[in-house]
């Protein structure tokens, strides 16, 4: 079975199982992370209910001509092979500068024990994102911080 078909069937099963409006659609399917280690770790945190948020470089949405997430959006979270694992719903979106991040916010990502480790890991991540666009990471970059809840698994 092709992956696209598998994902569509998962979405249809969600709508049937939850009596959702049949016209309801999802925004995207994706996996969290940027390498095999983070794909597995972050998916595990989402499924355990520990990861309730994610942060993105705001400029990417414009550069990639993508719509920013909005409260109420649904997405299908997959593993690295694009097998659907759960459905999340966006519950809050906020904009914050990297250098203004605090632990009360970043701990919602469920990945770090303190602000310093969050900054270290995200510096590495955002630096790699910026390089793909031939840009340099700066501490005053804008982050889109998206909170979500798992609504189906």
pLDDT at 49 over 70: yes
Residues of the chain with pLDDT > 90, as a percent, come to: 93
Domain boundaries, the chain: 3-152
- What is the per-residue pLDDT across 73-87, written as a single tens digit (0 to 9) for each? 999 999 999 999 999
Query: What is the per-residue pLDDT for 137?
Result: 96
**Mean pLDDT taken over the chain:** 95
Both tokens of 40, joined, read 């597995």
pTM value is 0.92
Query: Residue 1: which pLDDT band, with cuts at 50, 70 and 90?
Result: low
Range 129-141 average pLDDT: 95
pLDDT at 132 over 70: yes
Both tokens of 142, joined, read 């804008």
Q: Which one of 3.10.400.10, 1.10.569.10, 3.30.470.10, 1.20.58.110 gives the CATH number of domain 3-152?
A: 3.10.400.10
Range 112-139 average pLDDT: 94
């Amino acid at each position: 079975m092709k992956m696209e078909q598998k994902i569509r069937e998962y979405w249809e099963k969600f709508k049937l199982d939850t009596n959702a409006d049949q016209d309801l659609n999802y925004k995207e399917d994706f996996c969290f992370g940027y390498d095999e280690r983070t794909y597995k770790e972050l998916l595990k945190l989402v499924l355990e209910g520990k990861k309730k948020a994610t942060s993105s470089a705001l400029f990417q949405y414009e550069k990639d001509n993508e719509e920013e997430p909005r409260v109420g959006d649904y997405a299908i979270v997959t593993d690295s092979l694009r097998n659907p694992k759960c459905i999340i719903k966006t519950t809050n979106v906020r904009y914050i500068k990297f250098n203004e991040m605090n632990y009360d916010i970043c701990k919602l990502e469920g990945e770090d024990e303190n602000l310093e480790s969050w900054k270290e890991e995200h510096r590495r991540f955002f630096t790699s994102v910026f390089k793909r666009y031939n840009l340099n990471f700066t501490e005053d970059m804008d982050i889109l911080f998206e909170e979500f809840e798992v609504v189906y698994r």
